Structure 1
């Protein structure tokens, strides 16, 4: 138990075994639950606000709390974990996530909800801080890009199943039951992690790229450019996406269940975008991220300009899902190729910046919705997304070889 996914280094060089893919699958379930827990307030924002007796903007700001806490936790986690078994760390993080969701389900006011979101932020930060790095260590080198795509596909899968299903459950049985269900699932996944994953101590990097980057500071030009793109693009996305329900309610007049179906559409396209972008980013991460940034910009423009038309709104949501679905894996692979000698540390830094941008986006979106309205918020996020495209176009790019040339040995 707990070691079935391990294999000798010589075997890992040639193929990835079924137990190893099962371990990647369990890791994907963990990221799925992490993102569902973080994003579910988007789908149940209106009833959650009514149940707690607070404005919708305040519920949206709960994503800011979670994002800030996870932004601090993610980059710190790899540095303080030392040689602790990553398998046990991930399982413990899922238990923390279960407690956070349970507290959310029992919250009676804004203060208790904030406490629950702090707990969620800790669990999310730990899982995100090491999940992608762990995924690279579970498979043969030639399958690294695919393993990262699977692990990060939890983001898109949460949109496909987690948030829409949680929205349906929230509409039918109440938002508290939706969060309570997530708490129970987190405990199940914690047990699965202990069973399926091997013992994973601190990784050692062995880079065999043609133009290998020497071990050095993480703050390299290509890393800085990538992080700037992430900040602008993710801030733009979450400033708009956090309030997608009131956007669709007020701009297009969709019902609650129709919005849940649109979120499902968003997620289906996001899942497809995740794997398509993962395959492309394995070779050309920068170009892939730029194409995704362009897609998000166009989608939000359509929603802002033609959002009163149901067909146009649906097309915008589908394009938005396809584009954003690939952002996480593509930007992760950008970071991996830009700092191939520091995979676990660059993952933690990237996830911290990513979650900080989620927090910033939710805060910016909330302030604009409350003070300026929905339409100005959408146009402002268009400008941010376009700015991310410009930064990526003119900034330094990663110079190391393909992702599969990065090999990690498991101690």
Structure 2
């Protein structure tokens, strides 16, 4: 890849970082926003759900309405919407304006992520498409791992409104730079409208990867959504230990995505297999060592868990692109919807299972789900010889 391609990919990655940071930023300043807007923490938390679920719906319909638009202009406009959403949030004096901003941001989020991987792979040669996907998604991993920590840290020195202004200006700047560096691109699909779903779902290998990814991501977020209270309340760990464990998870995730840029092309199928298997192992061992109180063992498990889950998010998308071929744009949009939907589904099912059975049975159930997904992946894509 040339220097210009690398610059473009890292611009896409930083843009994704801003968009995902916009999604999770309220969680880092929840109390401060609640005081300013005279709202409860649950009302602020709802704004994150609004952002995610609207992103899910928009990503699903994006190929129907936006595929023929010049992608360079489209991405810049979407970042402009993110800038607008953050600005509205910064001047909001009521939850109505916060929710309005989240609706605008959610629309931009869904459309941008639906086009992120396909844009990254469109500017490089076939042999480095998976590497380009990994680079573009570095920003997603970094934001997912560190956004809340960074926003919370900045809030000790800056007003939360100032943080949103920084996000707004950053999004606007990224939009301008993408206009300069992204070439003129348009999506070309052999199917239109709702026919694109039929065309994509006729590819059984893509459907298999989508189902496996939904199982793994749902199981992960069923646990991850409640990991902080598990560590702090059930295991009674000190706040510093909880923060360190979550930091281990985040750093491992970021480093794994960095390593993916080097090895994903050559070992994509095997990376997915090992990552699913190790994720299942971690979820199952959490229930064992958590009950017995072996908290020191949690540190290596969190490192493995963070690295594997972060790798899977990128590798699943790379596999979808590789298997879908000419329908890659449509398939990626469906994957993004599945991914966002699985986050919400995981939190919902996790809450129900936690209430009914407790945290350790929740871990056991989700560990078994991922183990079954691992077997199905091995059976179809490794033993079955499907070219992933």
TM tier relative to shorter chain: 0.7 to 0.9
Contact 1:252–1:313 at 8 Å: present in 2 too?
A: no
- Structure 1 residue 54 and structure 2 residue 45: aligned? no
- Structure 1 residue 121 and structure 2 residue 121: aligned? no
- Cα distance in 2 for partners of 1:169, 1:257 equals 18
Distance 1:338 1:143, change over 3 A: closer
Contact 2:230–2:359 at 8 Å: present in 1 too?
A: yes
Map 1:163-178 onto structure 2 (within 5 A).
163-170=148-155, 173=158, 177-178=162-163
Distance 1:380 1:357, change over 3 A: same
Q: 1:352 offset after TM fit, Å?
A: 1.4
One of 292, 299, 313 as aligned partner of 2:282: 299
- Cα distance in 2 for partners of 1:182, 1:311 equals 37
Contact 1:102–1:183 at 8 Å: present in 2 too?
A: yes
Distance 1:260 1:239, change over 3 A: same
Q: 1:92 offset after TM fit, Å?
A: 1.3
Q: Could you list the runs of 5+ residues in structure 1 that have no partner in the other structure?
A: 1-15, 206-215, 403-411
Q: Aligned residue for 1:186? A: 171
Contact 1:159–1:263 at 8 Å: present in 2 too?
A: no
- Cα distance in 1 for partners of 2:345, 2:179 equals 34
Q: Aligned residue for 1:217? A: 199
Q: Aligned residue for 1:28? A: 13
Q: Aligned residue for 2:193? A: none
One of 310, 313, 316 as aligned partner of 1:328: 313
- Cα distance in 2 for partners of 1:88, 1:259 equals 43
Distance 1:291 1:62, change over 3 A: farther
Shifted more, 299-308 versus 140-149: the winner is 299-308
Q: Aligned residue for 2:246? A: 263
Contact 1:168–1:260 at 8 Å: present in 2 too?
A: no
Shifted more, 70-79 versus 109-118: the winner is 109-118
Shifted more, 142-151 versus 385-394: the winner is 385-394
Contact 1:232–1:384 at 8 Å: present in 2 too?
A: yes
Please give the secondary structure, in 1, of the residue aligned with 2:137. Answer: helix
Q: 1:55 offset after TM fit, Å?
A: 5.5
Q: Name the one with the larger helix percent.
A: 2
Contact 2:63–2:330 at 8 Å: present in 1 too?
A: yes
- Cα distance in 2 for partners of 1:85, 1:24 equals 17
- Structure 1 residue 37 and structure 2 residue 19: aligned? no
Distance 1:87 1:228, change over 3 A: same
Q: 1:306 offset after TM fit, Å?
A: 3.2
Contact 1:278–1:330 at 8 Å: present in 2 too?
A: no
Q: Aligned residue for 2:184? A: 199
Matched residue count: 376
Q: Aligned residue for 2:209? A: 226
Distance 1:98 1:262, change over 3 A: farther
- Cα distance in 2 for partners of 1:262, 1:312 equals 11
Q: Aligned residue for 1:90? A: 75
Give CA-to-partner distance per residue, 1:178-213, whole Å, 9 cap, x none.
4443233222222221222122223479xxxxxxxx
Q: 1:259 offset after TM fit, Å?
A: 4.5
Distance 1:370 1:100, change over 3 A: farther
- Cα distance in 2 for partners of 1:105, 1:376 equals 42
Map 1:385-400 onto structure 2 (within 5 A).
385-395=370-380
- Cα distance in 1 for partners of 2:46, 2:295 equals 28
Contact 2:269–2:381 at 8 Å: present in 1 too?
A: no
TM-score, reference length from structure 2: 0.83
Distance 1:50 1:237, change over 3 A: farther
Q: 1:34 offset after TM fit, Å?
A: 2.2
Map 1:339-354 onto structure 2 (within 5 A).
339-354=324-339
- Cα distance in 2 for partners of 1:32, 1:101 equals 14
